[in-house]
Amino acid sequence: MTGSLISTLEGRYYTDPGIFADEQAKIFEKMWFCAVKSGDLANPGDFRTVQVGRESVLIARDRHGALNAFLNVCRHRGARICVDEAGSVKRAFQCPYHAWTYALDGKLIAAPNLTSMPDVDRVEYGLTKVHLREWLGYAWVNLADDPPSFEEDVLSAVTERLGSLEGIDGYEIDQLSVGKRIVYDVKANWKLIIENFMECYHCATIHPELTEVLPEFADGYAAQYYVGHGAEFGDEIKGFTVDGGEGFEKLAALDEERDRKYYAITIKPQVFINLVPDHVILHRMYPVAVDRTIVECDWLYAKEVVDTGRDVTRSVELFHRVNEQDFEACERCQPAMASRAYARGGVLVPSEHHIGGFHEWLVQKLESAD
């Protein structure tokens, strides 16, 4: 192989159910996982269930206003507590099998004949807690008994990309509201989606709207290729919209140096953050099979933009098209991962070499001890 090209992962990394199971256990069940927008669970009793690795996780707001996360498993005989993806309960969660009942903070509060079993510790036999931390207005969960440092696992990705953690502060993401949410069911392995997001070698080919707004992307170098670099809007472009027309006012706390620029951040293993002057686009991936990934994408705007019902269609449409174009490309690649032509993998060109770092990270995780 020439010096210009480096090898990718072998095709089996995208098709082997055994490798996917290892990824679930050693990556998604060990690392911090962005699970749900905190504001979606605004009131006591509001809940959502999220698949994290092989586990169903129940996230709920308690009567004191705090968010808690639990394994969605009854401590009695293992029935799933909540089968709905989202909803609200008045005071407690009740197992539909034998009516074991849990408070919003997970404590066991009732069960048939429980009073005749005074030795049962209601805290010990409460729902199994999952570590939870809120950041950027989202609840991040971790299934490990001893979770890794949030600073090293999550915040470091921002520092590595923007040069400092303060670089994201001006967007005040935790203060923004969801103007639009689109859920995509992508028939491709989660790694293909990450690799696609990390490079722009494909941009001139499949993203005509994006390269019109960000002309430098047509040259194949993604914003993530350089630390601290933001891709500049074209000279005639007024906003990050599908037609390049006016968007909304610059976010109030954003520095002038970040105006008219786009920044992208990958937070392994399943979050993409896209920063533009008037809104933020945040993707969360939920790998559900070796060849299927659910992607939930939020378009976040200043609260007054959403509250006053301003039309966000043109800014949503730009990245919605980018998403559809990207996911179609990933779905085109997925079947070929099983081809004998890809048994030893493909190659990365120089502008994609940073993807090689992602591959090294993945292999290291899979080779680590349980």
**What would the pLDDT profile of 129-142 be if each residue is shown by its tens digit?**
999 999 999 999 99
Span 303-326, pLDDT tens digits: 999 999 999 999 999 999 999 999
Report the pLDDT value the prediction gives residue 123, as an integer from 0 to 100: 84
Asked if the structure places residue 202 within a domain, the reply is: yes
> Which token pair is 259?
């105006």
362-to-171, 257, 335, 357 alpha-carbon distances in Å? 30, 34, 21, 9
At which of 132, 147, 162 does a domain end?
147
288 lies in the same domain as 336:
yes
37 lies in the same domain as 56:
yes
Report the pLDDT value the prediction gives residue 116, as an integer from 0 to 100: 87
Asked if the structure places residue 62 within a domain, the reply is: yes
For 217, the enclosing helix (H) or strand (E) is none
Peptide bond into 287 cis (omega under 30): no
Span 16-64, pLDDT tens digits: 999 999 999 999 999 999 999 999 999 999 999 999 999 999 999 999 9
Report the pLDDT value the prediction gives residue 225, as an integer from 0 to 100: 65
Asked if the structure places residue 39 within a domain, the reply is: yes
What letter represents residue 55's amino acid?
A: E
With a CB cutoff of 8 Å and minimum separation 6, the contacts of 157 are: 265, 266, 267, 268
Report the pLDDT value the prediction gives residue 106, as an integer from 0 to 100: 97
Answer whether residue 15 shows pLDDT above 80. Answer: yes
| Residue 215: strand, helix, or coil | helix
54 lies in the same domain as 131:
yes
Percent of the chain at pLDDT above 90? 90
Return the CATH number at 78. 2.102.10.10
For residues 151 and 140, give the distance between their C-alpha atoms in angstroms, rounded to a whole number: 12
Span 61-115, pLDDT tens digits: 999 999 999 999 999 999 999 999 999 999 999 999 999 999 999 999 999 888 8
For residues 224 and 210, give the distance between their C-alpha atoms in angstroms, rounded to a whole number: 15
**Burial (0-12, 13-18, 19+ Cβ within 10 Å), 345:** middle
Asked if the structure places residue 2 within a domain, the reply is: no
Asked if the structure places residue 268 within a domain, the reply is: yes
175 lies in the same domain as 136:
no
For residues 85 and 88, give the distance between their C-alpha atoms in angstroms, rounded to a whole number: 11
Report the pLDDT value the prediction gives residue 115, as an integer from 0 to 100: 85
Answer whether residue 370 shows pLDDT above 70. Answer: no
204 lies in the same domain as 319:
yes
pLDDT average, residue stretch 159-169: 94
C-alpha gyration radius of the chain: 22
109 lies in the same domain as 216:
no
Report the pLDDT value the prediction gives residue 280, as an integer from 0 to 100: 98
Q: Which residues pair with 178 in a beta bridge?
A: 300
| Lowest-pLDDT range of 117-126, 150-159, 262-271, 344-353 | 117-126
Report the pLDDT value the prediction gives residue 340, as an integer from 0 to 100: 98
What is the pTM assigned to this prediction? 0.96
181 lies in the same domain as 142:
no
**pLDDT, mean over the chain:** 95
Asked if the structure places residue 24 within a domain, the reply is: no
Asked if the structure places residue 25 within a domain, the reply is: no
Report the pLDDT value the prediction gives residue 369, as an integer from 0 to 100: 72
Determine the structural domain holding residue 93 and report its residue range: 33-147
Can you say how many angstroms the Cα of residue 60 is from the centroid of all Cα atoms in its chain?
19
| Residue 167: strand, helix, or coil | helix
Return the CATH number at 300. 3.90.380.10
Closest by Cα among 198, 162, 157 to 351: 198
227 lies in the same domain as 246:
yes
Contact present, 269 and 148 (Cβ < 8 Å): no
Asked if the structure places residue 138 within a domain, the reply is: yes
143 lies in the same domain as 262:
no
Report the pLDDT value the prediction gives residue 333, as an integer from 0 to 100: 98
Closest by Cα among 266, 257, 246 to 361: 266
226 lies in the same domain as 124:
no
User: How many separate domains does the chain show?
Assistant: 2
At which of 123, 147, 171 does a domain end?
147
Angle among Cα 17, 130, 38 to the nearest 5 degrees reads 100
Peptide bond into 269 cis (omega under 30): yes
At which of 89, 124, 147 does a domain end?
147
213 lies in the same domain as 304:
yes
Terminus-to-terminus CA distance in the chain, angstroms?
A: 34
**pLDDT confidence band for 196 (50 / 70 / 90):** very high
235 lies in the same domain as 319:
yes
Span 220-258, pLDDT tens digits: 876 666 788 899 999 999 999 999 999 999 999 999 999
